[in-house]
Structure 1
Amino acid sequence: MKHRSLGTGTALLTAAALGSLALAPAATAVEPTAATMSFECSSFGSGTGSLTATQDGTAATINLSTTAIKSPFPLAANSIASTLTLTKNGSDTTTFTGKANPAIPAGGTVSTGPLTGTVAAGDSLEATSLTVVVFGISVTCHATSPQDPGPFVF
């Protein structure tokens, strides 16, 4: 009698575990998760940029920090409106936007993100420009190098 109870209990636990796995959402990932590139921002300067990407289903975020723009004065957190434009699959474009940034001291480099956007499985995205707006002043930076090690593939 004890063997039957143990066998039934084990079968129920196994069925519950398999059922949980079947109901769990499929894991998604972006590769690479980090990339670097160079930006030119007209009279504001030029420098390198570091990008990190994450994905959750069709929602994706990119954080960006660049030495190409230095703030002449302190900036409060969440005071920069940013738009990152990326080539999508080599021909189309898409944008990631947001108004999120850490507090930036005078002379500090600009960091922005998470910038949010929508992706589909297999999308290949590579940054081409970044526009930041602070106190009504718009600065557009253009990529002067490809992303290294390559585009983000979702």
Structure 2
Amino acid sequence: MSKRIGSGAALLAGALAVTGLVFAPSAAAVTPTTATITASCGIFGGGAATLTATQSGTSATITLTSSAITTPIALGANSISSTLTMANSTGSARVFSGSVNPAMAAGASITVGPLPGIVASGDKLDFNGGSLKMVVLGITLTCTTSTAQAPGPFVFD
């Protein structure tokens, strides 16, 4: 009898696992996943930049890369403390922050991120109206733009 109970319990557990997979919510996705902006970043320069967004539930990341925005000096990995504030047309601005960057030689293209943050379903985030603050060797540099990102805001599920 104990073998039957054990077998029955195993079958029930397997059935519940399959049911859980069938009814599990689909992964959240942000659209678009990339957008372009034109930013002005003080001594780092300015020009076209690409923002790349990812989403997993309420967690999201955004990375900024640009060949027009460059480092005036060599920087070590994870040496830029970055705070990216994105304007949100559906509510409060969202903040993505961290010290995540590759090592960069003097004059190299800038990359910061992926910077983690929290989003809500329906958030529509645009760099226009926000900013990127980078603290490098105790000096704060701020990047801003006066135009909307293209093709449009990041919309989070």
Give the TM-score, by structure 1 length: 0.83
- The residue number in structure 2 matching 1:149 is 151
Give 2:37's aligned amino acid: M
Note if contact 1:37-1:144 (Cα within 8 Å) is conserved in structure 2: no
Q: Structure 1 residues 43, 76: CA separation in 2 closer, same or farther (over 3 Å shift)? A: closer
- The 3-state SS of whatever aligns with 1:143 is coil
Shift of 1:92: 3.0
Note if contact 1:85-1:130 (Cα within 8 Å) is conserved in structure 2: yes
Distance 1:20 1:132 in 2: 43
- The residue number in structure 2 matching 1:33 is 33
Shift of 1:69: 3.2
Range moving further from structure 2, 59-68 or 107-116: 59-68
Distance 2:43 2:76 in 1: 23
- The 3-state SS of whatever aligns with 1:74 is coil
Note if contact 1:82-1:112 (Cα within 8 Å) is conserved in structure 2: yes
Task: Count how many residue pairs are aligned between Structure 1 and Structure 2.
Answer: 144
Distance 1:78 1:41 in 2: 19
Q: Structure 1 residues 141, 109: CA separation in 2 closer, same or farther (over 3 Å shift)? A: same
In structure 2, stretches of 5+ residues that fail to align are 1-11
- The residue number in structure 2 matching 1:111 is 111
- The residue number in structure 2 matching 1:42 is 42
Encode CA deviations 1:60-99: one digit per residue, 9 max, x unaligned.
0001113453212211110001011111125532211110
Encode CA deviations 1:20-61: one digit per residue, 9 max, x unaligned.
424634311000000001011235422111000000100000
Distance 2:44 2:63 in 1: 20
Q: Deviating runs (4+, > 6 A) in structure 1?
A: none
- The 3-state SS of whatever aligns with 1:21 is helix
Q: Structure 1 residues 26, 118: CA separation in 2 closer, same or farther (over 3 Å shift)? A: same
- The residue number in structure 1 matching 2:97 is 97
- The residue number in structure 2 matching 1:132 is 134
- Percent identical residues: 50
